[in-house]
Structure 1
Amino acid sequence: MPPPRLLMVVTGDDFGYCPRRNQGIVDCFLAGGISNASLLVNASAAKEAAALAGRHKIPIGLHANLSEGSPVCQNLQQVSTLINPRGFFHGKMGFRQALERGQLSMKQVELELRAQVQRFVELTGHLPYHMDGHQHVHVLPDVREVVAQVLSDLRIPFTRVPVEPGLHSCPWLPAHLQTFYTQVEKDALDSVPIFRRYGIRWPDVYLGLSTMGQNMSVSTLQRALKEALAAGTTEPSSRGASGLRQPVVTAELMVHPGFSSHPEEGGCGEGPDNFSQSSEREHELNVLRSPAVLELYHQERVQLCGFRDL
């Protein structure tokens, strides 16, 4: 076998969201379609997900959540800047709007992140191998400083920097998604010097925005892999600070496999969202575990791994 050209962590996000999400992620892992999962510790089926990860030896990290459901930290569940009058986080865009208006306490953000790490340890028996942010909250202004401090203090080595090469030449992405992804990319690039300063690591290349949901196919995955190999170490990698170049490119592919959530089952307290109830999760699952994708990995010399293997 020739050596791999690309070491890729394929992360199934939202582990713990509901039993059907958990089953899809486990099925995908056992079929060789993913190599890692990211756990929502405030989700309804988090305890079951942690048990499944242990049983099947699925490497998992923390999907830090500040935007959906309720806080884990008990002191923040009644009155805090992070929740609305109903006791739930402000939502994907609501969190960003409150942050922009200066209405969020970073001390409370820190308390919640540390509480979520502690819950992760209680569920799994170990620290997460990596920590990223649900809906990319971990790269937002001010929040990224807190995230970096928590990661450094707890010696969690890896995070996610969502800057995807070739993203702006994807005509199948609608304008509203391009606008949101452009802002995510800007926030992620602004996070790079902060994460570097704290010694946090991440793979050379990030993939997954161009291949989400119905946009996932063998051809879009093939295109993403070619972009990753072309970008190599020219992307803002955590290895860039040392100037080292390695012959094997490292990457993370973010994916969302699972079966459609039942309307009344799952979520983080408010029930499952539209994306979770759609068929798009199952579409991703079927593509990722298809023989054509596994053959693509073989042809392109892609080796799947976990963060602890990087």
Structure 2
Amino acid sequence: MPVNDPLAHGEDAFDDATRLARENPSLDVGCHLVLVGSPGFPDTVSQLIAAVRKMPVYDLLSAQVRKILDAGIVPTHLDTHKHTHLLPPVLEAVARISEEYKIPWVRRPFDFPMEAGGIGWKKRAVSQAFHVVRGRFERVLAKHACRSTDHFAGFQMTGNYDAAYLERLIHELPEGSTEFMCHPGICTDELRAARTRLKESREAELRALTAPSVRRALEHENVRLTGYRELTPPPATSR
């Protein structure tokens, strides 16, 4: 299960984040590419869908990667805010950037099935809808020699889990590598004023992720926390 921290180029705390990344060189740092919900971009995914084919997507995302590289940080992986690389024009740009900038790992945001638990039906429906584009998504990644983990988890759980739920996830993990998406943090006044729905839930996630019972579950299930740099590359895929 990879342990990493995505870095968004446009955040107000960018300089502080890059400083922390340099002070912790063993931590894998990814590039969290943004096309929605930030100044200068559409506010919602629906608005992005309507506008994306008229946007210089590659140039916008490439500039974000270059900003991180210019700060002395070499990302190990790419993902996108709101998983917008599920949209074909964005996916093509992200896969091209992965290949050209030699940032091999790209998030494959398809949750593996779990029992519904406390997850709302809308979140489950959106997660299941993602799978409609999975075949094309994986073909584009293969064309550009991108790598991704075998599995992904966390979309349905975002902002809605405790230690017990996380223990159940660990118990149900399939064989292979799994990226677990999470948003731990401290809910400061600055965060409360930010344009995000994930506020108090970040502290709940932090408590769950650091719970001794979760550590014991990892040990019991022989799950090893790792980083992208440590993962064995998957077999090469012919184009």
TM-score for both structures, normalised by structure 1: 0.69
Residues 187, 202 of structure 2: 8 Å contact kept: yes
Q: Which residue of 1 aligns with 2:53?
A: 104
Matching of residue 290 in structure 1 with residue 211 in structure 2:
yes
Matched, 1:197 2:118: no
Cα offset for 1:139? 1.9
Aligned length: 230
Q: Residue 153 and residue 109 in structure 1: after superposition, are their counterparts in 2 closer, same or farther (change >3 A)?
A: same
User: Residue deviations 1:29-57, cap 9 Å, x none?
Assistant: xxxxxx31001110110110111122133
Aligned residues with identical type, % of pairs: 27
Asked if 1:37 corresponds to 2:10, the answer is no
> Structure 1 residues 261, 92: closer, same or farther in 2, change over 3 A?
farther
Give the Å deviation of 1:163. 1.2
CA displacement at 1:266 relative to structure 2 = 5.6
- Deviations, residues 225-269 of structure 1 (Å, cap 9, x unaligned): 33322xx3xxxxxxxxxxxxxxxx11111100011142xx369xx
How many Å separate the matches in 2 of 1:266 and 1:173?
24
Per-residue deviation, residues 107-161 of structure 1 (Å, max 9, x unmatched): x1100111000111122x1331100111101121221111111111111100110
Measure, in 1, the Cα distance between the counterparts of 2:221 and 2:116. 21
Aligned residue in 2 for 1:89: 41
Alpha carbons of structure 1 residues 302 and 92: separation in structure 2 relative to 1, 3 Å = farther
User: Gaps (5+ residues) in structure 1?
Assistant: 1-7, 10-34, 71-87, 233-248
> Which structure would you say has the larger RCO, counting Cα contacts within 8 Å and 6 or more residues apart?
1
Q: What are the residue-to-residue correspondences of 1:1-310 with 2, within 5 Å?
A: 8-9=1-2, 35-57=3-25, 58-70=27-39, 88-99=40-51, 104-105=53-54, 108-123=56-71, 125-167=72-114, 169-213=115-159, 215-229=160-174, 232=175, 249-262=176-189, 265=190, 272-276=194-198, 278-310=199-231
CA distance in 2, matches of 1:143, 1:96: 10
| Secondary structure of residue in 1 paired with 2:105 | coil
Residue pair 1:160, 1:202 contacting (<8 A) in 2 also: yes
How many Å separate the matches in 1 of 2:169 and 2:131? 16
